[in-house]
Amino acid sequence: MIKLTSTEFDAGTVIHNFDCDFTVTTAGDGLWGCEPGRQVRVTGICVIHTAFDDSINTRVDVTHGSTWDIYTDTAFESAVSGALGFDVGFTEQGMQEDGLASMEV
């Protein structure tokens, strides 16, 4: 389940906040040792569109109930992409936190 709860506008930036309640079963194919079959609950997604020069940059912050080592897990990427209706991928490893996945379009 994913539900838009708010949209904010601020000087070239549009922020969409979603409440979520779905579980992802990890594939275990990420680079940092997340085992296959881990159950990861997703509780929120924040999509931030920022205008920069002649392009739009889209950052996606995903609140979840796991550790940062889900980084690059394809099942997690696929589930978040499916929930949003567009493809997202993880940003760099140093941007990941326990409980928060940093992703982008």
Look at the chain and report how many structural domains it folds into.
1
With respect to residue 102, please indicate whether it lies within any of the assigned structural domains.
no
* pLDDT of the residue at 33: 83
With respect to residue 100, please indicate whether it lies within any of the assigned structural domains.
no
Name the 3-class secondary structure at 94. helix
Report how far apart, in Å, the C-alpha atoms of 47 and of each of 30, 32, 37, 102 are.
23, 25, 27, 11
φ and ψ at residue 83, rounded to 5 degrees: -65, -40
Contact 69, 33 (CB under 8 A): yes
Cα–Cα dist 83/67, whole Å? 20
Provide the mean pLDDT of the chain. 97
* pLDDT of the residue at 81: 99
With respect to residue 79, please indicate whether it lies within any of the assigned structural domains.
yes
Q: Summarize pLDDT for 26-72 with one digit per residue, the tens.
A: 999 999 889 999 999 999 999 999 998 899 999 999 999 999 999 99
With respect to residue 105, please indicate whether it lies within any of the assigned structural domains.
no
With respect to residue 22, please indicate whether it lies within any of the assigned structural domains.
yes
Domain containing 38 equals 2-93
Name the pTM for this structure. 0.95
Cα–Cα dist 95/100, whole Å? 9
With respect to residue 103, please indicate whether it lies within any of the assigned structural domains.
no
With respect to residue 36, please indicate whether it lies within any of the assigned structural domains.
yes
With respect to residue 48, please indicate whether it lies within any of the assigned structural domains.
yes
φ and ψ at residue 32, rounded to 5 degrees: -120, 20
Average pLDDT of the segment spanning 22-28: 97
**Tokens representing residue 48 in the block:** 């931030």
